[in-house]
Chain A
């Protein structure tokens, strides 16, 4: 989250990456890219929009190349589909992509943690935000790993504070139960997290 009136620059991203690398001793593991697409229904007549959802979210996760995730935020629904669904959407033209947000950056390995730091760039190429995804590999229970991840976030905050970046990181905590998801972590959880992250970012940009 950037401070008021500050434009995000790639410099901040580099600083963040450096934090991960030098302070925490992360080893660079490669690049990653996740794309989030806002779909709007393509309507012939404006009046027929009655019970159609106004907005459909599509998420292509970097480590799930064979799947595509659809979210209806208003209805708290998530669906996992095959990645060929995107081609199908193009052909059907029932929902058109309005905005595409690309999250991309580097991923690092810090012992048992896998950290992805990246920028959020819409198609207009203006940097909108910087996000970080942290995964604790030994566990797959959300409940059991909660404290560990919170502690990690605290340590991260301390590390970043020393760099005095013009902004601060906010922990995104979506309500998985709303979407009917269980304690065992799955890629669907990740998709929900990206969607929630997106909402927060949009809200912050508007303010």
Chain B
């Protein structure tokens, strides 16, 4: 029997608590710890018994080989028998204790999730703890480094806020789990120094990008959320998906009073924006997440049907519909491409590129001229799900020649291709 690695009571010498009969009056965690302790001792006793059996066999073997030492062997056997008997008695007593505490029989199971705990708990890094309450998880030896760091940071910022209220909170600090925004800050300031944007010589802020976009996209709605707010919204989507929405924009304004309204950008809220939702009513819903809240660094994008809702609707989730899965797949590549070319314009380009999908169900393929076509390799009927994202090579070399007012829009956003009709892999 393998010894469970008990973080709590591994080193303590085995000693029976004086009130073993009144075990039910103790707190559940103590009961669990005791039970585990007793199981460990039972394992040791069983090992001792095994050893004792070996000794007996050895003694018998000696007896057969050296008959003239019979007295000695008899002594040995008697001694061994006594210790074995003791072990068995101890084991029986232990078993009785375990039985009384309800560990060995089914009484625990019948009580359901007894003592109100799941036990024993196996932590993400493999250690076994006798008990855990979620909030105290980090206090246990078995908590993972991430959990401990997260809680240490929280404790630190709480204390800082309490004792140094005059110091401002870090904008990237705590709205994103476990992330430290310092590195990102560095990068953006680097970007400030070395940017080569053709149209403007400054890095746009998130609110600039969003207001810019709103002016250009008449039938796409843009909403921004803090990270946790988005998850709440996504769950709400599933519950309202079964009803008959009269007006999607009305419905959204009912559920999310925090959304940024066009024109009036709330400076504090922008710092916490981590999720951007782009909705073209009745066509698609795209979710873009930003790497640190308030930055212009997109890190994931996913497309969904406007009727989809639920916990899986987020920037790294996948739609249940094949068409949107394919679009998401293509969008991943586009995002990586935009990031590789120029990280500062990547968000702006991505959002504009996403907008080109409003014609997903109406625009025919630029190569074959059809809307719906059977994709042979996937065995699916799909409309053109690919929109080109690569910029043409010539424009990259023309940076110095372009006037400051020239448009950056050198991506061909007017064509669409089926998967089989497009040139890329």
Query: Which secondary structure characterizes the binding site on chain B?
Result: loop
* Interface 0/1 of B232-245, CB less than 8 Å to A: 00000000000011
Question: How many residues of A are in contact with the other chain, CB < 8 A?
Answer: 23
B155 within 8 A of A: no
B34 shortest CB reach to chain A, Å:
54
A26 shortest CB reach to chain B, Å:
10
A111-B382, A112-B322, A148-B383 known; A141+B372 contact, CB < 8 A: no
A66 within 8 A of B: no
Residue of A110, A139, A147 with highest tally of chain B CB at under 10 A: A139
Task: Let me know if A112 and B323 touch, CB within 8 A.
Answer: yes
A137 to B320, CA, bound (A): 10
Q: Which residues of A have CB within 8 Å of B379? A: 25, 111
A150 shortest CB reach to chain B, Å:
9
Q: Which residues of B have CB within 8 Å of A145? A: 361
Task: Let me know if A141 and B381 touch, CB within 8 A.
Answer: no
Task: Let me know if B322 and A151 touch, CB within 8 A.
Answer: no
Residue of A nearest to B321 (CB): A138
B92 within 8 A of A: no
* Interface 0/1 of A13-30, CB less than 8 Å to B: 000000000001100000
Q: Which residues of B have CB within 8 Å of A151? A: 370-372
A91 to B370, CA, bound (A): 55
A51 within 8 A of B: no
A144 to B372, CA, bound (A): 13
A140 within 8 A of B: yes
Task: Let me know if B321 and A152 touch, CB within 8 A.
Answer: no
The 5 A-B residue pairs whose C-beta atoms are closest, nearest first, are: A151-B372, A141-B282, A111-B380, A138-B321, A25-B379
| B residues apposed to A, CB below 8 Å | 244-245, 282-283, 305-307, 319, 321-324, 361-362, 370-372, 374, 378-383
With A111-B379, A138-B323 given, name 12 new contacts (CB 8 A).
Answer: A111-B378, A111-B380, A112-B322, A137-B305, A138-B319, A139-B283, A140-B307, A143-B282, A148-B383, A152-B381, A155-B374, A182-B244
